[in-house]
């Protein structure tokens, strides 16, 4: 990601693991190196215009919020944050500071998403009341018991800094590198990792904000590790109609870990539903629209052609990262927002982490009502039984 920004002056790099990050650190000999982002901001804050956050999920918010508070532009990998509160905070801070922001769900800048939006907004598939989506992830271990063995981190890894704001736990090689994605304290499982990519076209095209109810289920739910496979259902109320199509109540269902939505009626036998890591199926009253992960390759079950997008802004070469660089260099009054500006990425991410919450609260055996504005569940939840 950083290498795509080689046209810019990279003044500082920060990573808790200088061995894992070695190639990146060596590629920028003039950049000052840090392990602690707090120290970096203290020492280099005045020289930094923009910050790219590509750490483990649980540290996105503390880093991005600090950068936003200092008036820096922020590109943050997906999921934007680990919790609803953190997402709401980043969204509001970004709006207050009038800076350029972008979440790292690259498909948002692609022509596939534009095509999907314009097809739905034109009324081509009618009113959408049901969306189903899946990813073929995880491609890291999930469903694991908490390790009891304690390993010694290599000298170039500062494990305490990796833990950051999360509760301390001893190091084990199963957590880092890469596999933190499956551990609740650090990652958000396959749902959090991929739904920001896969559900973005649905949130954008259907103008979804907070769900009013969520429900989760999964394979064995362990205390610390995301399950091997999950289903999460989100219910959204009706939204304001668009000029050419109504926006009624819609149910969005997510599958991962090898689970797939049912094939829509008329599905071409033998066609693999998985396109680039997943798919989304939009059930409209006039047609069914299908696209792959990142909103790629949209097509209609009827066989009709979807027109090339013409109304929405085309991001040059669909380059999500360079579009952020472009936005950083524009003034706040004239800036054209990035495709995944936090004002759009925020509601998407809140939905995604609510899915994680629903899976983790599945022991309540109910659909959870959610007051998105107040960020509150019902105040009279019972105790979750032990099994």
Asked whether 291 and 133 are in contact (CB, 8 A), the reply is no
Verify binding: residue 1, other proteins, rule CB under 8 A: no
**Interface stretch with other proteins, choices 5-13, 20-28, 161-169, 258-266 (CB under 8 A):** 161-169
* Rounded Cα distance, 349 and 325, in Å: 22
> By CB under 8 A, is residue 220 in contact with other proteins?
yes
> How many other C-beta atoms can be found within 10 angstroms of the C-beta atom of residue 257?
22
Contact indicator for 300, 306 with CB cutoff of 8 Å: yes
Count of Cβ atoms closer than 10 Å to residue 150 Cβ: 9
Question: Judged by CB under 8 A, does residue 149 bind other proteins?
Answer: no
Q: Which window, 59-67, 203-211, 254-262, 317-325, contacts other proteins (CB under 8 A)?
A: 59-67
CB 122 within 8 A of CB 311: no
Q: What residues between 60 and 99 interact with other proteins by CB under 8 A?
A: 61-62, 65-66, 69, 82-86, 88-89, 92-93, 95-96
Q: Provide the 10 A C-beta neighbour count for residue 316.
A: 10
Secondary structure letter of residue 228 according to DSSP = S
Comparing CB distances to other proteins, the nearer of 50 and 93 is 93
383 forms part of the interface with other proteins (CB under 8 A)? yes
Binds other proteins (CB under 8 A): choice among 11, 44, 221, 259 = 221
Q: Which stretch binds other proteins (CB under 8 A): 14-22, 57-65, 235-243, 320-328?
A: 57-65
Using the minimum distance from each CB to other proteins, give the nearer residue, 177 or 363.
Answer: 363
212 near other proteins, rule: CB under 8 A: no
Element (H, E) at 325: helix 320-328
Minimum Å distance from CB 247 to other proteins? 27
Cα–Cα distance measured from residue 156 to residue 318, given in angstroms and rounded to the nearest whole number: 37
**148: exposed, middle or buried (C-beta count within 10 Å: 0-12, 13-18, 19+)?**
exposed
Q: What's the min distance (Å) between Cβ of 214 and other proteins?
A: 11
Figure out which of the listed residues 164, 187, 257, 278 binds other proteins, where binding follows CB under 8 A.
164
Site string for other proteins, 306-345 (x = CB under 8 A): ----------------------------------------
Residue with tokens 């009618």: 126
Nearest-angstrom CA–CA distance, 311 and 309 = 6
Q: How far is the CB of 262 from other proteins (least distance, A)?
A: 28
Residue 382 near other proteins by CB under 8 A? yes
Decide: is 375 part of the binding site for other proteins (CB under 8 A): yes
- Which listed residue (26, 145, 314, 330) binds other proteins by CB under 8 A? 145
The token pair at 318 is 């669909």
H or E element at residue 129: strand 128-135
CB atoms within 10 A of CB 209: 16
Residues that bind other proteins in the complex, under the rule CB under 8 A: 61-62, 65-66, 69, 82-86, 88-89, 92-93, 95-96, 143, 145-146, 163-168, 220-223, 356-357, 360-361, 363-364, 375-377, 379-387
């Amino acid at each position: 990601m950083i290498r795509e920004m080689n046209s810019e002056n990279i003044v500082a790099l920060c990573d808790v693991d200088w061995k894992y990050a070695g190639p990146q650190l060596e590629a920028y000999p003039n950049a000052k190196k840090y392990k602690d982002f707090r120290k970096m901001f203290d020492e280099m804050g005045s020289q930094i215009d923009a910050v790219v956050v590509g750490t483990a999920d649980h540290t996105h918010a503390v880093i991005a919020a600090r950068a936003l508070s200092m008036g820096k532009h922020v590109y943050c990998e997906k999921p934007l944050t680990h919790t609803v509160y953190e997402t709401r905070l980043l969204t509001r801070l970004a709006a207050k500071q009038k800076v350029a922001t972008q979440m790292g769900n690259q498909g948002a800048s692609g022509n596939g998403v534009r095509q999907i939006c314009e097809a739905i907004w034109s009324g081509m598939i009618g009113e959408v009341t049901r969306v189903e989506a899946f990813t073929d992830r995880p491609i890291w271990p999930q469903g694991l018991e908490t390790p009891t063995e304690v390993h010694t981190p290599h000298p170039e890894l500062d494990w305490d800094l990796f833990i950051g704001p999360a509760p301390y736990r001893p190091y084990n090689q199963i957590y880092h590198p890469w596999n933190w994605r499956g551990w609740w304290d650090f990652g958000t499982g396959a749902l959090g990792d991929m739904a920001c990519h896969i559900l973005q076209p649905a949130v954008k095209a259907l103008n979804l904000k907070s769900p009013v109810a969520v429900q989760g289920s999964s394979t064995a739910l362990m205390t610390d590790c995301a399950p091997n496979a999950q289903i999460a259902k989100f219910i959204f109320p009706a939204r304001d109609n668009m000029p050419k199509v109504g926006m009624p109540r819609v149910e969005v269902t997510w599958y991962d870990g090898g689970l797939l939505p049912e094939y829509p009626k008329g599905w071409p036998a033998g066609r693999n539903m998985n396109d680039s890591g997943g798919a989304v199926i939009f059930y409209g009253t006039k047609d069914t629209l299908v696209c792959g992960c990142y909103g790629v390759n949209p097509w209609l079950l009827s066989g009709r052609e979807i027109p090339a997008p013409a109304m929405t802004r085309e991001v040059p070469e669909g380059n999500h990262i360079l579009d952020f660089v472009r936005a950083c260099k524009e003034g706040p009054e004239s800036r054209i927002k990035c495709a995944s500006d936090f004002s759009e990425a925020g509601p998407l991410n809140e939905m995604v982490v609510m899915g994680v919450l629903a899976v983790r609260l599945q022991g309540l055996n109910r659909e959870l009502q959610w007051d998105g504005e107040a960020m509150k569940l019902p105040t009279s939840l019972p105790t979750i039984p032990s099994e």
